[in-house]
Amino acid sequence: MTSLLIDRIGELTTNDDSLGEGLGGRLRDAAVVVEGSRIAWVGPAAQAPAADERVDAEGRAMLPGWVDSHTHLVFAGDRTAEFEARMAGEAYAAGGINVTVEATRAASDAELSRNLTRLVAEARRGGTTTIETKTGYGLTIGDEVRAARIAGEQADSVTFLGAHVVPAGEDPEAYLDLVTGPMLDAVAPHVSAVDVFCEAGAFDEAATRRVLESARAAGLATRVHGNQLGHGPGARLAVEHGSLSVDHLGFLEDADIAALAGSWAEWRDGAGPRGTVATVLPACDLSTRVPLAPARRLLDDGAVLAIASNCNPGTSYTSSMGFCVATAVLQMGLTIQEAVRAATLGGAIALGLHQDGWRNPRGETQPAIGAIRPGARADLQLLDAPSATHLAYRPGMPLTTAVWHAGKRLH
Ligand code: NIG
């Protein structure tokens, strides 16, 4: 097995406070040794062991690769006109989803795979090393199984979102029976979790409960799209059902925030029952002109936070986690370290991939992700900047200059 030493790292964010200072576990003048797909050593550059190969970071900042825990990448078509209308004052409504459903059903497997490859490549160039993606633009048994299968060829984690909207022209009760019955049975072998869009215009409280209960009965983890377009029961139901995460969260009551924070009361350093991660999607909030999710308050009150891109053709057509981190700092009031942690380790916890031994959709057992510490998967990004602070200090700049995924250099 070849080893690689990356040294002269000006600032290393490890996300492990036993390795460095403060929330990010930061080290100055640091080095990292990679062996195979894992990190073998982390510490001061002056004490670094020798390795077969060497990369000189020349004082640049290194941090874990982004963990994008919420995307919708299996789709066809384009919704420029809808976006343009929204920027001219029209409100976003979940109905636009059916436009993409129609285009996706009409596309060939090869077209869907090619679009997915394009979007994954874009994300990787921007420093993303772990990607969750969802079905949800098929909404028939065949189209949902197809989306899950195609997603599983490239993503690290695949989620079944049959409960995205009721397809145009279908009876809501009959569709709910399908999504919680035969469609779930058919898609389950291809996914690790089930998601439901709990919102006016999508699925109400009773329907959301049925989706979450059917997922649990099938032995799958759950997530909820909640509190995106207005106040509602999404966050509360996610906590009640022990969902891995609830995502969006622009419209939260005090009780929702208390429930999200309270769900982590017994969880310390990965021990004790975990809670529900509050995942905020800053690019989506901007692109739909809803209030930014109260990330500052969620953290202050004790919730565990993730930041994700929500890349999809309707509400957030970007995979740039750097943009999301900059927005979280500049407009949501997070510190750099809080935002970077939420976009790396926070995403890993939201996906349940922060501990060793998880399996990707190809059945390959994987090391923990989200931190740069011995034993973790060697998912690293090097910035063309001396500090991660530049992510917000120089917003919008393509700062990621090198990426390693499971020890392999991508660019
Ligand atoms: O996360 N909330 C529902 N689903 C997507 C939107 C998908 C679309 O409009 O195509 C979201 O924003």
Substitution candidate for ligand 1 out of 68, 72, 195 with most atoms within 8 A of CB: 72
Name the amino acid, one letter, at 310. Answer: N
Percent of the chain exceeding pLDDT 90 equals 96
Q: State the pLDDT confidence band at 1, using cuts at 50, 70 and 90.
A: confident
Between the CA of 315 and the centroid of ligand 1 the distance, in Å, is 6
Strand order across the 221-226 sheet = 66-68, 128-134, 157-163, 193-198, 221-226, 245-248, 277-280, 305-307
- Indicate which residue's Cα is closest to atom 8 of ligand 1: 314
CA–CA distance, 180 with 374 (Å, rounded to integer): 41
What's the confidence (pLDDT) of residue 289? 95
Average pLDDT over the chain, rounded to whole? 97
- The reply to whether 3-65+371-409 and 77-359 are identical in fold is no
Would you state the structure tokens that stand for residue 173, as one six-digit string? Answer: 């009760």
Average of pLDDT values for 137-156?
98
CA–CA distance, 248 with 258 (Å, rounded to integer): 16
What's the confidence (pLDDT) of residue 271? 75
For residue 407, pLDDT over 90 is answered with yes
Query: What residues does ligand 1 touch, defined as CB less than 6 Å away?
Result: 72, 96-97, 100, 197, 225, 228, 284, 310, 312-315
Average of pLDDT values for 269-273?
75
What's the half-sphere exposure (Cβ side, CA atoms, 13 Å) at 12?
A: 27
pLDDT, tens only, 332-363: 999 999 999 999 999 999 999 999 999 999 99
CA–CA distance, 302 with 260 (Å, rounded to integer): 8
CATH class of the 3-65+371-409 domain in this structure:
mainly beta
Between the CA of 396 and the centroid of ligand 1 the distance, in Å, is 23
pLDDT, tens only, 126-145: 999 999 999 999 999 999 99
What's the confidence (pLDDT) of residue 92? 86
Average of pLDDT values for 167-190?
97
Between the CA of 291 and the centroid of ligand 1 the distance, in Å, is 16
CA–CA distance, 400 with 382 (Å, rounded to integer): 6
Element (H, E) at 234: helix 234-240
Phi, psi dihedral angles at 52 (to 5 degrees) = -65, -40
CB 362 within 8 A of CB 391: no
For residue 269, pLDDT over 70 is answered with no
The residue extents of the domains of the chain are 3-65+371-409, 77-359
What's the confidence (pLDDT) of residue 282? 98
Substitution candidate for ligand 1 out of 281, 312, 317, 324 with most atoms within 8 A of CB: 312
pTM: 0.97
DSSP alpha helices (H): ranges in 52-126?
A: 80-87, 97-106, 109-125
For residue 94, pLDDT over 80 is answered with no
**DSSP-assigned beta bridge partners for residue 66:** 128
Could you identify the atom of ligand 1 that is nearest to the CA of residue 137? 10
Pairing of strands 193-198, 157-163: parallel
What's the confidence (pLDDT) of residue 267? 87
pLDDT, tens only, 6-48: 999 999 999 999 999 999 999 999 999 999 999 999 999 999 9
Would you state the structure tokens that stand for residue 248, as one six-digit string? Answer: 């969006």
CATH 3.40.1390.10 matches 77-359? no
Between the CA of 184 and the centroid of ligand 1 the distance, in Å, is 20
Could you identify the atom of ligand 1 that is nearest to the CA of residue 92? 9
Q: State the pLDDT confidence band at 148, using cuts at 50, 70 and 90.
A: very high
Between the CA of 97 and the centroid of ligand 1 the distance, in Å, is 7
Average of pLDDT values for 318-323?
98
